[in-house]
Amino acid sequence: MSAIRSALDDPPEEMNDYEREIIGNIRKTGWQGTHVFPGEESPGFGYSTGFWVTAGIPEILICSLPGNVAHSILRYILEKADTGFVPPVGIAVSDIMVGYDCYFFPIRKEAYEDYPLSSNWFYHGVDYPCLQLVWADEAGLFPWQPSFNEAFRHDQPDLSPEGWLSHLAN
What number is the average pLDDT over the span 62-70? Answer: 96
Amino acid 3: pLDDT = 79
Q: What's the one-letter identity of residue 133?
A: L
137 alpha carbon, distance to own chain's centre: 19
Instruction: Give the pLDDT band (50/70/90) at residue 165.
Output: very high
Cβ neighbors of 138 (< 8 A, separation 6 or more) are: 149
Amino acid 2: pLDDT = 57
Q: pTM for this structure?
A: 0.95
Share of the chain above pLDDT 70, in %: 98
State yes or no: pLDDT of 86 exceeds 60. yes
Widest CA span of the chain, in angstroms? 53
Average pLDDT, the chain: 95
Amino acid 1: pLDDT = 45
Residue among 133, 135, 139, 142 at smallest CA distance from 165:
142
Q: What is the pLDDT of residues 18-63, one digit of tens each?
A: 999 999 999 999 999 999 999 888 899 999 999 999 999 999 999 9
Q: How far apart are CA 82 and CA 79, in angstroms?
A: 5
Q: State whether residue 161 is helix, strand or coil.
A: coil
Amino acid 170: pLDDT = 66
